[in-house]
Structure 1
Amino acid sequence: MYRGGFNGGNFMPRGGGMGHMAYQTGSQGFNWMYLVSAGIKFLIFLAILYVAYNIFKYYRDNSNPAIKILNEKYASGEISEEEFVKRRALLTKRS
Structure 2
Amino acid sequence: MFCRGLLNFRSGSFGGWGMYLMIGFCLLMFLTLIFFAFKLIKAHSHSKSSESSDSALNILNERYARGEISDEEYTKRKIILSTKN
| TM-score relative to the length of structure 2 | 0.50
Where relative contact order (Cα < 8 A, 6+ residues apart) is larger, the structure is 2
Q: Which structure has the larger Rg over C-alpha atoms?
A: 1
**Higher normalized helix content (fraction of residues):** 2
